[in-house]
Chain A
């Protein structure tokens, strides 16, 4: 059972500010309702009886920070989650990307990597593996380690296989992994083009130009101002005519990007317009 009143708003604010100053991890612009639940959850799991105890541990015990980040960030993900999104990538985005000599894709906030492997499978089936690079980043180094290993619970494979088929996959999903007791180890050829690195969307800058950025169910944890900042980061990191894919309940509607991106399907995928088209649009609106 959750006890939302364990932590007061002001206490949370000051703790997050302290963490930002001490460690450079800035959670002050995370959605309040959500991060409060997360902080509350870590108090319960780690059996802190008061907020002061949590604070003491965080400030005095530097090694505890990593654990805090792991628990505060949500690392729940799935392969081919929202199959219709992947169907749109498969049918509308990858054929466009296929015309480039080198395809750079950024999966921002990739967590334990299930989506990275999903995109790799799409790329392989589209025959694009030889010219693709998949940059997968997350704030949390320990989930990246899991992503790098590509070993997921076998119990999930039934769901993932169903998702895969709904996304338009026609192969036998089990071709992509080797089952070993309770785990499915994904094939090495899927991993060849993956580059994993820690990247903090709050504080780190653009590090390349991409034709596709996928960031799903990460922005929901940020407040509107921080979302706007991250949208600018994505805009700076996307080539003209590049694509941006978000989670099924996320939108650029509240941001400046809205003006020069257009949604390419009923899925949450937008395409950045060329400079001339942008001017045209501004001139006539």
Chain B
């Protein structure tokens, strides 16, 4: 397992995920990590909701869980999610970054350090610039950067920031995202 696909999003991105997840292959050979901004307890049901949309295993990981292919990991509410060099997950309850915990920047950057050019990171709809710095780190490590087409985003601030401040490899419409991920699965 060499590849990692990370999805970051804020306001308006849940809708996109609900469209993407049902179209994913059932046996992906790499893990997906989803980092969404959400308000603490109000929607701790997120992983349950997403699990109803796919046959892939959707989990909110514990600290030190090992990344497994074919799993979708949801960053738990109120923790930053980091990746260690042995491909285990470290959770962190340090200060919020960009007013966010989990912060998309933290996960993008830490995954890029470990997975290097095999890091794929996409930023979806949102009203905040969290994730943009992370995309730059993905790029600096020769990974692939993607962004939801701002025209299709419910809140276009986040994808627009990404496009203006980072070097973006692919701008995708929501209905193209699953196909992109599935294609990575075929060597």
Contact = CB atoms under 8 A, between A and B. Distances in A.
Interface of A: 1-2, 4-5, 9, 31-34, 37-38, 74, 76, 217, 219-221, 223-224, 227, 247-251, 253-254
A33 B93 contact: no
B142 interface: no
Interface stretch (B49-57, B105-113, B143-151): B105-113
A31 B90 contact: yes
Contact of A76 (B95, B97, B133): B95
Contacts of B83: 33
B94 A249 contact: no
Contact of B63 (A2, A5, A37, A220): A220
B157 interface: no
Given A4-B137, A220-B93, A33 B61 contact: no
Contacts of A250: 62-63
Contact of B82 (A1, A9, A37, A253): A37
Interface in B104-126: 105-106, 109-110, 113
A217 B93 contact: yes
A220 B95 contact: no
B62 A33 contact: no
Interface residues of B, number: 27
Contact of A219 (B60, B63, B113): B63
Interface of B: 60-64, 76, 79, 82-85, 88, 90-95, 97, 105-106, 109-110, 113, 133, 137, 140
B84 A31 contact: yes
Residue of B85, B90, B137 with highest tally of chain A CB at under 10 A:
B90
A249 B79 contact: yes
B95 A251 contact: no
B64 A32 contact: no
Residue of A31, A221, A223, A224 with highest tally of chain B CB at under 10 A:
A31
Given A1-B133, A37-B82, A220 B92 contact: yes
A275 to B, nearest CB: 29
A220 B97 contact: no
Given A227-B64, A249-B61, A251-B63, A4 B109 contact: yes
Contacts of A251: 62-64
A37 B134 CA distance: 13
A8 to B, nearest CB: 11
Given A220-B91, A249-B76, A34 B62 contact: no
A32 B106 CA distance: 14
Given A5-B140, A249-B79, A33 B90 contact: yes
A250 B62 CA distance: 6
Residue of B61, B84, B94, B109 with highest tally of chain A CB at under 10 A:
B94
A36 to B, nearest CB: 9
25 contacts: A2-B133, A4-B113, A9-B85, A31-B82, A32-B84, A33-B83, A34-B90, A37-B82, A37-B92, A37-B110, A38-B94, A74-B92, A76-B94, A220-B90, A224-B64, A224-B88, A227-B64, A249-B60, A249-B76, A249-B79, A249-B91, A251-B62, A251-B63, A253-B62, A254-B64
Nearest to B101: A76
B105 A2 contact: yes
Given A2-B106, A2-B109, A217-B93, 18 more contacts: A1-B133, A2-B133, A5-B137, A32-B84, A33-B82, A33-B84, A34-B90, A34-B92, A74-B93, A74-B95, A76-B95, A220-B63, A220-B93, A224-B64, A247-B93, A248-B76, A249-B60, A250-B63
A220 to B, nearest CB: 4
A279 to B, nearest CB: 29
Contact of B97 (A2, A5, A217, A254): A2
Contact of A4 (B62, B76, B97, B110): B110
Given A219-B63, A249-B61, A249-B79, A37 B93 contact: no
B93 to A, nearest CB: 5
A59 to B, nearest CB: 25
Nearest to B134: A2
Nearest to B93: A217
B162 to A, nearest CB: 14
Nearest to B97: A2
